[in-house]
Every structure is written in C-alpha cells, then in structure tokens.
Amino acid sequence: IRPPGALEENAFQGACIRCGLCVRDCPYDILKLAEFGQPVALGTPYFEARTGPCEMCEDIPCVVACPTGALDHALTDITKARMGLALITDQEACIAFQGLRCEVCFNVCPVRGKAITLELQHNKRSGKHALFIPVVHSSDCTGCGKCEEACILEEAAIKVLPIHLVKGMLGRHYRLGWKEKQKAGGSLVTPDAPHQYNLPEGMQYDYEGKGLIQEGQESQETPFSSNPLDTLNRKGGL
C-alpha cells in the first residue's frame, strides 16, 4: 500500500524520484523502498498492512518530507487519507459471520463508527442471537491497515487493497435520479405539452411553476402540488 497522500499510481510513479525521504522520516519505520523482484515499482515507498500498518501520524511527516508532491502536500488531515480500502475478503472465515463475537477490526479502527460499523443481523443458525457484522464504508476508510493487522485469523479475513482494485466505477450513462433530484432541489421532470400524465378531467398543467390547476384558472392560486405526480398519487390517479 502506498503512503498517505500518494497520487494516482501512474502519476505517483512519474512524480516519485525514489529519494527515500518519506521512509527516513517515518517515525515508526513502517515505510519501505521496493526492491528488485517485488510487485511494486523499484525504489518506491510502500507498507504492508498485515505486518506494519500506517500509524496515522497527525503531522504526516512522510508527506511533509516529499520534495516532489508525489505525496500530496494538500493532505493535512490524516483522516482524509485514502491509502487503500479495507475489504472483507472471506466471509466464510470471518468469525463474526459465524455468530461469534469478535469486533477487533471495528475496535482498532482509527475512525471507528465511520470507516467500520457493526451491522446487527439475525442469526439463523441459533435463532436467538445476533450477528455483529463489520461493514466497511469507503467514504471514510483511510486504508491504514490496522484492521488487517489486528485480524485474529491466521490469514486475515479483512484486507486493505489499492482502491482501484476494490471500487467499481459507475458508467457515465447511469443517472442516479434521486441524487440529482436532491441536488436540484425538486423534480427533474416537467411534462411537455403533448405529455400530460393522464391529468384528471378538468385539470391542466401550469408551466409557470404552479403545477396542476383547474382549466381556466391560470391566474388563481391552486392547492395542488407543483409536482403533478404527487397530486395524482394523492387522488388515486396512478
């Protein structure tokens, strides 16, 4: 895993001059420089979450030491770092999914309650106990690796991986209407003249923003919603 503040991988490799200053200034001696034959670009810094996770220094000395910006100096809050992303890679091995209380990954998380939360689920096996399932939230996970290091299994069931290997990317042709509506502050759709949404008899749509109004009552106030679908649903029109 790259140090905190690392640029996107291609940009990072282009900006990193392999000086080793970030490794030198890491107070916990966690960062290493990649050697020949390792699956990391030769001479670039990295750490292994299972054996030595990032200790989340508040002053982020590795970033401060970087002379080229390969570790972005704009990162001043370590909780905003996105070194990688934790992922439950083996639910069959994770004892929380078997109904046993563990919660170690949750308890060691530096941003506990945000990056990792516990979700209570019904235990079908016992029928009377709850499962305390760890859930990782990508919006807050720093990728520090403390959860992977602390996992009690011989082979960790939760691992930190590079973000590009874990997260999908929504195609540009997808539109999440509910989010766009929230940003717009209201309905995203206004019916055009030919499309009247099967309006109730005697009603028409006011294109000045009043919504459904009675025919011939354009200048009067209307009790109807500016969203025609709301009115139709209330009146049983759909």
Cβ(133)–Cβ(74) below 8 Å: no
Burial of 58 (C-beta count, 10 Å sphere; 0-12/13-18/19+): exposed
Q: Where are the chain's structural domains?
A: 1-81, 85-166, 177-234
pLDDT in tens, 168-225: 877 777 777 777 777 766 655 555 554 555 667 777 766 665 666 777 765 555 555 5
Q: Tell me if 1-81 shares its fold with 85-166.
A: yes
CATH tag for 85-166 (out of 3.40.190.10, 1.10.10.10, 3.30.70.20, 3.90.1150.10):
3.30.70.20
170 contact partners, CB below 8 Å, separation of at least 6: 176
Strands (E), the chain: 32-33, 45-46, 85-88, 116-122, 130-136, 158-161, 203-206, 211-214
What pLDDT score was predicted for residue 177? Answer: 75
When the pLDDT of each residue in the chain is averaged and rounded to a whole number, the result is 86
pLDDT attached to residue 189: 59
Phi and psi angles of residue 163, each rounded to the nearest 5 degrees, phi first: -55, -40
Look up the CATH number of domain 1-81.
3.30.70
